[in-house]
Structure 1
Amino acid sequence: MNINISNSSQEPIYSQIKNQIKQSILRNDMEAGEALPSMRRLAQDLRISVITTKRAYEELESEGFITSFVGKGSFVAGQNQDLIKEKRIKEVEVRMGEIVNESKNLNISLQQLHDLVTMLYEEEE
């Protein structure tokens, strides 16, 4: 698992870790039952505090993305494929909302934005 931490980011380090692991799970880069590195090992690899990795894992567990077992470690939780799809759609909605706001700030019309999305969508096919 490859996690990149940015010290210049406004986002807290635990949140960067959590979000990168969550995205890996949602993209199916990590499968149900797959073991995550131990909190201590991840902290060593990233050169950060174990408390930081602990918080990221706790939040992932509370959101249902991983399960942890004392003495055994943390594992990707089995998830319903419909639920995963719904979470991914929600993520697209959030990112599109950011794009819409930026487009408004730049005075890009709805038609121009629509044309741009259509062009990009058709390029990917």
Structure 2
Amino acid sequence: MNIHISLQSDIPTYEQIKIQIKAQILDGRLAPNQPLTSMRQLARDLRVSVITTTRAYSDLEAEGLIYTVQGRGCFVKGDAEMVRRQYLQNIDEAFRTAVEKGKAAGLNLAELQDRLEEIFHEKCN
């Protein structure tokens, strides 16, 4: 598991961890049922508090991406593809809403795409 955090980022540290683990699960770098680094070890590796890593792992579990086995640790859920499909459905719903609101505001497709690109680049920086 390869995670890099930036203390200068506006994104909270737990969220940076969560985003990076989620990306590694969804793109297959972390395989189903693969154990994750323990919360304590990850906290030591990243030089953050255990509370921070616990929050990231808790959020990932709440989103259905990982599961915990008492006394053994956290593991990648077996069906990451199903989770990915759920995310895609949520994205489709958000896009439908954006298109409806864009049309109501008088935007054409190119203007709507420009807005999406702006927001995408804001979130990636």
* Fold agreement, TM-score > 0.5: yes
TM-score norm. by structure 1 comes to: 0.69
* Amino acid in the other structure paired with 1:49: S
1:84 & 1:92 partners in 2: Cα distance?
Answer: 12
Distance 1:10 1:79, change over 3 A: same
Q: Report how many residues are paired.
A: 104
Question: What does residue 81 of structure 1 align with?
Answer: 81
Deviation >4 Å, runs of 4+: 88-94, 109-114
Q: What is the identity, as a one-letter code, of the residue corresponding to 1:54?
A: T
Aligned pairs (5 A) from 1:1-125: 1-79=1-79, 81-88=81-88, 111=110
Distance 1:84 1:54 in 2: 23
Please tell me whether the aligned partners of residues 26 and 88 of structure 1 are also in contact (alpha carbons under 8 angstroms).
Answer: no
Distance in 2 (CA, whole Å) between partners of 1:3 and 1:22 is 11
Instruction: Give the SS at the match of 2:68.
Output: strand
TM-score by length of 2: 0.69
Q: Deviations over 1:2-29 (max 9, x none)?
A: 1010111111000100111001111111
Q: 1:17-47 CA distances to partner (integer Å, 9 max, x unpaired)?
A: 0111001111111111000000000000001
5+ residue gaps, structure 2, are: 95-107, 118-125
- What amino acid is the match of 1:14? Y
**Which segments of 5 or more consecutive residues in structure 1 lack a partner in the other structure?**
95-108, 118-125
Q: What RMSD, in angstroms, separates the aligned Cα atoms of the two structures? A: 2.9
Aligned to 2:103: none
Q: Share of identical aligned residues, percent? A: 45
Aligned-residue offset at 1:110: 5.0
